[in-house]
Structures are given as C-alpha cells and as structure tokens.
C-alpha cells in the first residue's frame, strides 16, 4: 500500500492521478466529438437554401440533428461513460483511508 | 402590474429565504469555520453540485439576453447557445478528481489557495485575488442591476425599491448561510429554471398554433431566421464556433466554477453531477432559446431583447403561472449573484486578509470578518448599483472572457503539466487579461479580428505565455 507521499523519500505519483488523467482525456474526447457532431450537422445540412430543408417535429433538419439529437446523444454518452469508464476513488489526502461514502443525498 | 403575478414571486423569495435559513442552521463546526462558510465543508452531493454549477453559470444573459437575441436573429443563436452543453461535463471531467484530491491535500478553500500552493508563490496569489475582486465585483454589480430591472418591470416598483428587495433577499441568506446556503438555494433556483422554461415553452407553442405553424410564420417573414446564419446572414461558422471557447470549454477557467469543483464530498457525487449537469444545462438552454425564437410570430415587434421573456410569459400564460415562470430568470440572476458575492468575499477574507495581513487570526475573529466583509460587500454593491459608474460597466465587459483567459492555463496546466511554474502562471495571467482588453478595443473599432469572438486569441496567447514562461526561466518538474 502506498504511504503518505509527503513522508516518502522517493517521489511516487499518487496512483489515483493516473485515473484522473484518463478521465480528463475522456472529457477532451467527449468535447471534440460533441463539437464535430454539432458543427457537422449544423453547417453540413444548414448550408442548403431554406426551401430545401425538411422538418422533423416541426424543426429544421440541421437544427434537429445538430442540437436536439446532439444533446440527447451527449447526455446518453455521459451516462454510459459515467457508469462504465469512470472509477470511484477516495478523495482524501491519504489514499490509505478508503472511506468512500456510499450514500449521496 | 397584476397582483396575481406578484404573489408567486413573493412566495419564491420567501422559499429562498427559508432554504437559506435552514442551511445556515446546518453549519456545524466540525471542519472549521472557513471551510464551512466558503466551501460548505466539502460535503455537496451530486444533485446539489450539478444544480449549483448550472445555476451559477446560467445568468441574466442566458435567461433574458440570450432568448432576446434568438428572437432577433433566429435559429443561429440557438445553435450558438447549445455549445454550452459541453460545460455540463467538461468542467468536472477536466478539473476532475485530481483537483478535488489536491485541494484537500493542500487544504485549499479557494481557487487561489490552490494556485498559491501549486506555484508556491505569493505573487500568483495576489495577482489572482486582484483579478477576481476587480472583475467579479463588476460582474456582480451588473447582475444586480439586471435583477432589479427585472423586478421593476414585473412589479412596477421604482428601480430603487426593486433593487432594495433584490439586495436584501440575496444578502441575508449569503451572509448568514455561506456556501451551503448558496448551493442549496441554487438547487432550488435551478429546479425553478427547469420547470419554468418547460411551462413557458409549452405555452408559447400552444399560443403559436404548434411548431409547424410557427415555423411557417418564420419562413414567411424571413427564411434566414431558420438557417444557422442569422436573420441578416452575418453569423459565420467561425464566429459561432468561437463561442465554444467563451461559453463552452473556457468556462473551466472561471473561479466560480473551479471552487465548485473542490466542494463535492465523493467521487460518486461528482459522477452524478456529470449526468445531471449535462442534461439540465442542455434542457434549459434549448428550451429558453426556443422560447425566444418561437415568441417572434406570437408577439412581433419587441425592440428590447431583454423584454422578450417577461412579455411573452405575460402574453401566453395565465397571470399566476406567468409569475411562477418569471421566477426562473429571477432565480438565474440570484443564483449567479450569490455565488459571486461569496467568491469575492472569500478572495478578500481568505486570500488577502488571512494570507497576507493576519495569518494568526483567531477562529472567532475570522468568523466576524467573513460575515462582516460579505455584508459590507453586498452593501457597497447595492449602493453602486443605484447608479452604476461607467468604470464598472466597462470592467464588466471583460469579466468572463478576461477571467477565462487569465485563469484557464494556470489552473488546467497547473494540474496536468509538471513543468508549469509560477513564472509561466504570472506571464499567462498578465498576457491573458492585457491581450483581452487590447483585442476588445481592436474588435470594437475594426470588427472581429479573424472573424472570431474576442476571447479566442487571448486564450491562445496566454497558453503560449504559460509555456514560454514555465520553460524559459526555471525548468523543474513539480511533485504533486
């Protein structure tokens, strides 16, 4: 088990940081995907003359796919990633104390 | 103004009061007063964390200005607004667990505490405290003016009386309840925003005869309203996309968001907040801006953008329901103001007073000072908002973009890049703010440089400054 890094003579990064770094990369990947989806549908479909737009639930197609579906898709992705790709770790300064609360109000 | 509109607003204010009061009773002394008052004892759960982030971030601009612009320029502005969905997951994933762990390890209560420990530099702390106090103080005053104007237009009260009601409502619960009261009232306010926008959207769609009919009216009036390019075709993809920085990923650099990323109690709370925050942000933004554009055929000819939401609510809803719905922009403004008030107060008390003036202050003294400074700040803001000085309005222009350009790299690279050091951080903050102000002036006279929003270039320049400053002067790896 790792001991308190502050008392260690040789520096070893906190193993929880590896998890944190992975999750930050997931955040960047999500944002890039979000941007491409948003931009692609908005300007891919939206640059036609308005007479050629089709309408879904009354909304212009570029908007419906870019913003409505895009939002629903991102929410679904965040749910899935939170459930399967993120790891629960203790946030306490000393990682030995694994007293992660299991209840949130 | 109709008494039926005012009653729900009064009930709303009383409810907020009650929640703030209950929160203040919960302030236990187990983790020390400062941590309790400015950080809620790091005990936020997932729902409250998500709501306080959304509500703090969603301000007068997303509830009055944004829909008003959508009314004028059409679907292009909703496209722009939807870039904000990213804030729901990005801030928490990027700052993430590392920020929360390090903040606990450094015993950091404010974002500046974190920067001070990370860079081991008083200069970084002073510079950040100054930036926060100056810019967020101005932003806060501008929001108070917005809040008072809203009360004024809804109730017909004089501006001064409206401002007084607004000031008292916010001041009381922030001063006595601290961060916990702010977070809990934010949660209530966030819930009101969700419900209010949904009711109003449904009301507008019914009044317009259904979405296809509204769309046909818009097409008949000006087909460009339903394109992504704006009513006059002037919204370019580059300009709209650059808002991904200002209101999207750049939000990670705002101190009021960063401090929330160190306030949650467990990683499970953070996971829940990711999901709730993303869904709630997207839902509110989509609804609010759709209301703005749908209002156009229903109630044509509104000149002042900020009035679209109040007017359409009074037009399409029964008065009492309009009162409930109009509590939503009220909630948006209050939840932003309360967070800024506490943040500026924490910068003065913790980052200036305790760090530099009187580190040996007793717990009792700290308590008096914290409550005193918060109340005093609120009073000064109230007095300034009576007749906002030009300087303040001017500073407010730089508040969000300027702070993003100043803080984004010192925070993010400070977390993830071991070679980042104080020289880089200082150079980055100065470059960020100075170039933001310079480019702002260039853009106002010459049109947008490279066709993008002012914030874009300063963020790039401050990145370059951070890297150069860190590597050029002292290249040494930091041990987190």
Strand partners, A55: A60
Tokens encoding B11: 């009930």
Q: Highest-confidence range of A62-76, B5-19, B371-385, by mean pLDDT?
A: A62-76
**Domains identified in chain B and CATH numbers:** 3-390 (1.20.1730.10)
Coil/strand/helix, residue A3: coil
| Binding-face residues of B in 139-158 toward A, CB within 8 A | none
Nearest by CB: A62 against B48, B228, B271? B228
User: CA A66, CA B240: separation in Å to the nearest integer?
Assistant: 14
Look-up of token digits 């929003």: B453
User: Tokens 């619960």 appear where?
Assistant: B173
Residue B14 CB partners (closer than 8 Å, separation 6+): none
Strand partners, B264: B44
Structure tokens of B329?
């922009």
Q: DSSP letter string over B106-171? A: TT-SSHHHHHHHHHT-HHHHHHHHHHHHHHHHHHHHHHHHHHHHHHHHHH---HHHHHHHHHHHHH
The yes-or-no verdict on residue B252 having pLDDT over 70 is: yes
Helices (DSSP H) in B30-84: which residue ranges? 33-39, 46-57, 60, 66-73, 75-81
Pair of tokens at residue B317: 């809803």
Q: Using the structure block, give the residue that is written with the tokens 């007063």.
A: B33
Residue B231 φ/ψ, nearest 5 degrees: -60, -30
List, as ranges, residues 18-77 from A with C-beta within 8 Å of B. 19-21, 23-24, 26-28, 30-31, 34-35, 38-39, 42-43, 46-47, 50-51, 53, 55, 57-60, 62-63, 66-68, 70-71, 74-75
Q: What is the number of other CB atoms lying within 10 angstroms of the CB of residue B355?
A: 18
Q: And the tokens for B188?
A: 């209530």
In DSSP terms, A60 is beta-bridged to: A55
Phi/psi at B239 (5° precision): -65, -50
Task: Select from B3, B6, B134 the least CA-distant residue to B403.
Answer: B134
Contact (Cβ atoms closer than 8 angstroms) between residue B39 and residue B262: yes
Is residue B42 within 8 Å of residue B80, measured between CB atoms? no
Q: Which of the four pLDDT bands, split at 50, 70 and 90, describes residue B28?
A: low
Q: What is the pLDDT of residues A24-81, one digit of tens each?
A: 999 999 999 999 999 999 999 999 999 999 999 999 999 999 999 999 999 999 999 9
**Residues A96, A3 contacting (CB under 8 angstroms):** yes
Distance CA B195, CA B209 (A): 22
pLDDT tens per residue across span B302-334: 988 888 998 999 999 998 899 888 888 888 888
Q: Is B44 helix (H, G, I), strand (E, B) or coil?
A: strand
CA-CA distances (angstroms) from residue A15 to A51, A87, A90, B96?
A: 57, 12, 11, 15
Residues of A in contact with B210 (CB under 8 A): 58
Q: A59 and B215: CB-CB below 8 Å?
A: yes
The single residue listed with the structure tokens 């001064």 is B160
DSSP B436: H
pLDDT in tens, B406-449: 999 999 999 999 999 999 999 999 999 999 999 999 998 888 88
Q: How far apart, in whole angstroms, are the C-alpha atoms of residue B406 and residue B426?
A: 9
H helix and E strand count, chain A: 3, 2
Q: What is the pLDDT of residue A102?
A: 40
Between CA B75 and CA B58 the distance in angstroms is 20
Q: Which of A16, A75, A93 sits opposite B97 (nearest CB)?
A: A16
**How do the domains of chain A map onto residue ranges?**
15-41+54-87
């Amino acid at each position: 088990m790792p001991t308190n890094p502050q008392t260690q003579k040789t520096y070893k990064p906190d193993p929880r940081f590896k998890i944190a770094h992975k999750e930050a990369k997931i955040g960047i990947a999500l944002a890039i995907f979000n941007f491409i989806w948003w931009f692609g549908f908005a300007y891919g479909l939206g640059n036609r003359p308005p007479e050629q737009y089709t309408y879904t639930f009354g909304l212009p197609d570029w908007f419906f796919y870019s913003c409505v579906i895009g939002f629903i898709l991102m929410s679904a992705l965040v749910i899935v990633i939170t459930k399967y790709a993120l790891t629960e770790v203790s946030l306490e300064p000393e990682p030995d104390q694994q007293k992660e609360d299991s209840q949130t109000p | 103004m109709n008494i039926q509109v005012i009653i729900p607003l009064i009930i709303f204010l009383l409810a907020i009061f009650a929640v703030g009061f209950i929160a203040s009773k919960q302030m236990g002394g187990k983790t020390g007063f400062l941590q309790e008052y400015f950080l809620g004892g790091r005990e936020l759960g997932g729902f409250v964390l998500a709501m306080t982030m959304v509500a703090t971030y969603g301000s007068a601009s997303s509830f009055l200005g944004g829909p008003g612009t959508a009314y004028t320029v059409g679907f292009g502005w909703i496209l722009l607004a939807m870039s904000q969905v990213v804030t729901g997951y990005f801030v928490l994933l990027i700052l993430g667990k590392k920020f929360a762990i390090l903040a606990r390890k450094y015993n950091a209560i404010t974002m500046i505490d974190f920067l001070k420990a990370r860079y081991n530099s008083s200069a970084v702390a002073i510079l950040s405290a100054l930036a926060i106090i100056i810019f967020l103080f101005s932003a806060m005053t501008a929001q108070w003016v917005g809040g008072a104007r809203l009360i004024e237009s809804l109730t017909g009260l004089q501006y001064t009386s409206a401002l007084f009601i607004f000031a008292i409502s916010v001041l009381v619960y922030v001063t006595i309840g601290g961060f916990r009261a702010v977070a809990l009232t934010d949660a209530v306010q966030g819930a009101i925003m969700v419900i209010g926008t949904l009711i109003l959207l449904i009301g507008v769609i019914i009044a317009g005869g259904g979405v296809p009919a509204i769309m046909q009216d818009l097409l008949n009036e000006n087909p460009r309203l339903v394109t992504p390019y704006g009513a006059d075709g002037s919204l370019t993809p580059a300009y709209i996309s650059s808002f991904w920085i200002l209101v999207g990923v750049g939000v990670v650099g705002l101190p009021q968001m960063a401090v929330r990323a160190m306030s949650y109690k467990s990683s499970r709370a953070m996971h829940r907040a990711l999901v709730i925050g993303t869904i709630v942000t997207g839902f509110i933004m989509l609804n609010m801006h759709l209301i703005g554009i749908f209002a156009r055929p229903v109630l044509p000819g509104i000149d002042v953008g900020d009035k679209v939401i109040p007017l359409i609510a009074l037009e399409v809803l029964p008065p009492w329901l309009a009162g409930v719905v109009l509590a939503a922009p009220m909630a948006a403004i209050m939840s932003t103001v309360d967070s800024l008030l506490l943040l500026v107060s924490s910068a003065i008390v913790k980052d200036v007073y305790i760090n530099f003036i009187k580190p040996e202050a007793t717990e009792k003294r700290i308590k008096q000072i914290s409550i005193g400074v918060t109340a005093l700040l609120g009073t000064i803001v109230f007095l300034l908002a009576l007749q906002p000085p030009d300087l303040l309005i001017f500073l407010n222009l730089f508040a969000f973009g300027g702070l993003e350009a100043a803080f984004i790299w010192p925070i993010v690279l400070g977390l993830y890049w071991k070679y980042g050091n104080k020289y880089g951080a200082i150079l980055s903050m100065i470059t960020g703010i100075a170039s933001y102000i310079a480019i702002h002036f260039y853009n106002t006279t010459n049109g947008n440089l490279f066709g993008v929003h002012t914030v874009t270039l300063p963020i790039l320049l401050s990145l370059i400054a951070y890297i150069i400053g860190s590597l050029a002067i002292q290249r040494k790896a930091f041990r987190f």
